[in-house]
Amino acid sequence: MALVLIRQDGKIDLWKNALLKANPDLPTYSYLEEHPKEDITMALIWKHPEGSLSIYPNLKCIASAGAGVDYIFEDETIPNAIPITRLVDPYLAGDMSEHVLASIFAELKNFNTYKVQQTQAVWKPKNYRRITDVTISIMGLGELGALTAKDLVQSGFKVQGWSRSKKSIAGVTTFSGNNDLNKFLRTSDFLVCLLPLTPETNGILNTVLFEQLPKGAYIINVARGGHLVDNDLLAQLDNGHLSGACLDVYHQEPLAVTHPFWKQPKIIMTPHYASVSDTKSVIPQILENYKNLQNGKELMNVVSRKKGY
Ligand code: NDP
Ligand code: OXD
């Protein structure tokens, strides 16, 4: 049995060293080095090159080194019967919640407007809103969405959440399914997307949805670029129906320098860094799953191939 690391973001050595520090006996390889393909039983991957998993005849687990798995399902060459696992981690959820809260507070207190005014040396006070003035709506009440919702409730916000199945979270008004979507949207001052990207949620942030939000609503997309129809957002910002957006994720990453988002002052952009897997925190669950695989035990955090998340 052995583990192969596959990722293209320059972090292979970081992950390899962290794995070996936690278990010096673990046979661990970078996919870029010479390694025995038939020994590999677990692939720990992040945005792998398409087709790179099909060369391992004894692969038994595809482990995403992130919470999202949409990039795995995009690769049509991934072997069918092999379980896919993902990360569920308190820091990943906590960091996301902090990022969303920061985006909301920056907008409530007009930091985004003042940043633009600063570049023009403009002194122009603008009325701010209070926590009690706004309703925050979270699409997706999973590991990240549920914690974010709870933290927002604790900060005093009115909070709503929407998910596929009905949820019960103290202080949060919950909605579920497509029939509830309009009711959920029409009272949303801030709309936060924390859905997984699946065929059902692809392009969900579009004109039809935006038009169901109250005038002046603000969009925060921290899930995946594929959820958003870019031109629909730009049009709704131009016509003033939406007041602004804070985006962390994009169709293409890094975003092309020619993309119109860069020049739209109502958009705040961060480079897909809302919440990042912390090796120290997540490696124990990867090693535990490796051991589970070795002992024929059930794996943790297995993704549903049927649901796509
Ligand atoms: P989970 O799988 O725990 O939760 C997903 C939630 O979305 C669930 O509540 C689920 O409903 C709901 N959902 C899924 N499909 C639908 C649908 N069709 N209609 C309504 N609700 C739906 O995911 P996480 O919270 O762990 O992560 C969410 C996403 O965040 C990840 O997939 C990833 O894309 C993104 N992410 C972004 C990061 C960043 O740095 N920007 C970092 C980490 C993750 P139900 O509970 O009923 O199944
Ligand atoms: C993730 C991410 O899915 O970083 O973990 O986007």
Return the CATH number of the domain spanning residue range 91-269.
3.40.50.720
Query: What DSSP line would sit under the chain, residue for residue?
Result: -EEEEEESSS-HHHHHHHHHHH-TTS-EEETTS---GGGEEEEEEESPPTTTTTT-TT--EEEESSS--HHHHT-TTS-SSS-EE----HHHHHHHHHHHHHHHHHHHTTHHHHHHHHHTT---------GGG-EEEEE--SHHHHHHHHHHHHTT-EEEEEESS----TTEEEEEHHHHHHHHHTT-SEEEE-----TTTTT-BSHHHHTTSPTTEEEEE-S-GGGB-HHHHHHHHHTTSEEEEEE---SSSSPPTT-GGGG-TTEEE--S-SS---HHHHHHHHHHHHHHHHTTPPPSSBPPTTTT-
Domains of the chain, residue spans:
2-89+277-295, 91-269
Per-residue pLDDT of 277-300, as tens digits, reads: 999 999 999 999 999 999 999 999
Question: Residues lining ligand 1, judged by CB closer than 6 Å?
Answer: 66-68, 92, 96, 140-145, 162-165, 194-198, 200-201, 222-224, 248-249, 272, 274-275, 309
Matching fold, domains 2-89+277-295 and 91-269: yes
Distance 18 CA to ligand 2 centre (A): 19
In short, whether 67's Cβ falls inside 6 Å of ligand 2 is: yes
What's the pTM?
0.98
pLDDT of residue 80: 86
pLDDT tens-digit series, residues 139-190: 999 999 999 999 999 999 999 999 999 999 999 999 999 999 999 999 999 9
> Which atom of ligand 2 lies closest to the CA of 68?
3
Would you call 272 a catalytic residue per the annotation?
A: yes
What are the tens digits of pLDDT across the range 18-44? 999 999 999 999 999 999 999 999 999
What CATH class has 2-89+277-295? alpha beta
